[in-house]
Amino acid sequence: MANIKPFKAVRPTRDKVSLVASRSYQSYTQAEREARLDHNPYSFLHIVNPGYKYDKEISGVARYQLVKNRYSEFKEDGVFTQDASPYFYIYKVVDRDNQVFNGIVGAASVEDYKNNIIKKHEDTIASKEVVFKDYLKTVGFNAEPVLITYPDNTEVSSIIKKKQEERAEYEFTTTYRDTHYLWLITEKEAISAIVNAFKNIPTLYIADGHHRSSSSELLCLDCKEQNKAHNGTENYNFFMSYFIPESELKIHEFNRLVKDLNGLTKEEFLIQLDAIYRIENRGAIPYKPNKKHHFSMYLDGEFYSLHLRKSIYTFKNSLDKLDAQLLYNTILKPILGITDVRKNNRIDYLSGKKEIVSLVNKIDSGKFRVGFGMIPANIEELKSIADDGLKMPPKSTFIEPKLRSGVTIYEF
């Protein structure tokens, strides 16, 4: 059974939330970041990029301390206030494509994560876990929830629907043309109903935020060791999460871009592919696959369809059936010589949410030699891989929604 709880969020005042809320720091170009930092004194980017105030790049522990300082200043200036009681928060996003996402922001249990009640489908990098743990420990807050999915639940859905009949606490549209809404669940009966509903859900799945989850576990271990009065109810025993039903999760693929053909000529490369795929030249007209185990390939200004010859390939487990893994097993590793997709600089990734012209432009520019496209993984694949204790290769999924940083903040 899953143990989730409400918490006292630190939030922007209603009049400033649209100015505070930001995308993740890495998603902005340098020019975009500078424009926001120059012209918006309330942007959350000022907190996560504190060196901008001094026109200096600052890293490591010194940066963490400055992040904490900027955050304290936002609270002192009344930009942020903390709710007096622990609440759940309904967060709704309507994106530019009119896709609607409804979920609940609350706190997930580190114990559930450790005990595999909250299951993972991606590997994490130990060094990144430690870095982010140290960051969290110094700054004392987290502003980006982990995305966790759960089986559709009528009781939870009815609570969300009823609350959304009221006026939202927040309603703002971003320059990205997404509209964000937030409602506070303050009623004790509704809060208890949500907690109890999740107690009847045996398993939750991380959709996005594996490093944030694992870092929260490390933080909990550190704090537990240092707190002689530890009783398991402290905030560090939980981490902020966005709980969204499986039916509302949107999964996109990541296309693969490779810089060279591993010393092969185009003809030699195609001959090796022919051993395991049926290949058809589709010409210059963009082609996207529409079935599992079918791929598109763009090479020398032309698209190809690749259909797996199933009679000569055996699926040994749920991971082998994942198209991102299949591409690795049949092409990237044996033909193109990319054994470690996490570290090899010959490979790059492009979200399938982007238009196919983005892939074409990157290859036509000469930066890359060949590109591969696939259809997105589905939620059942993600769950099967997690249930089997296996891990997807990196960049197997691009999952939405993407919430704004700084709308709800969880303090430890």
pLDDT tens-digit readout, 265-309: 999 999 999 999 999 999 999 999 999 999 999 999 999 999 999
- Residue partners of 257: CB distance under 8 A and separation at least 6: 347, 348, 349, 350, 359, 362, 363, 368, 370, 371
What is the structure's pLDDT at 125?
A: 77
107: Cα separation from own chain's centroid: 17
Give the model confidence (pLDDT) of 182-236 as tens digits.
999 999 999 999 999 999 999 999 999 999 999 999 999 999 999 999 999 999 9
**pLDDT class for 30, splitting at 50, 70, 90?**
confident
- Residue partners of 392: CB distance under 8 A and separation at least 6: 121, 122, 123, 319, 322, 324, 325, 377, 382, 385
Higher pLDDT, 346 or 343: 346
Which of 179, 10, 162 shows the shortest CA–CA distance to 97?
Answer: 179
Q: Hey, which residues does 204 pair with through a beta bridge?
A: 118
* CA dihedral over 26, 31, 34, 35, signed as positive or negative: negative
What is the structure's pLDDT at 54?
A: 82
Q: Hey, which residues does 239 pair with through a beta bridge?
A: 108
What is the structure's pLDDT at 58?
A: 84
Q: What is the mean pLDDT of the chain?
A: 95
What is the structure's pLDDT at 85?
A: 98
Residue 342 three-state SS: coil
What is the structure's pLDDT at 247?
A: 96
What is the structure's pLDDT at 182?
A: 98
53-57, 71-75, 153-157, 239-243 — which is least confidently predicted? 53-57
What is the structure's pLDDT at 51?
A: 85
What is the structure's pLDDT at 155?
A: 97
**pLDDT class for 241, splitting at 50, 70, 90?**
very high
Give the model confidence (pLDDT) of 103-140 as tens digits.
999 999 999 999 999 999 988 878 889 999 999 999 99
Structural domain spans, the chain: 4-250+400-411, 254-375
User: What value does the mean pLDDT take over residues 337-366?
Assistant: 91
What is the structure's pLDDT at 354?
A: 83
Q: Percent of the chain having pLDDT more than 90?
A: 87
pLDDT at 52 over 90: no
Task: Indicate the pTM of the whole model.
Answer: 0.92
CA distance linking residue 308 with residue 329, whole number of Å: 12
Topology at the third CATH level for domain 254-375: 3.30.1760
* CA dihedral over 35, 41, 47, 50, signed as positive or negative: positive
Residue 361 sits at φ, ψ, to 5 deg, of -65, -40
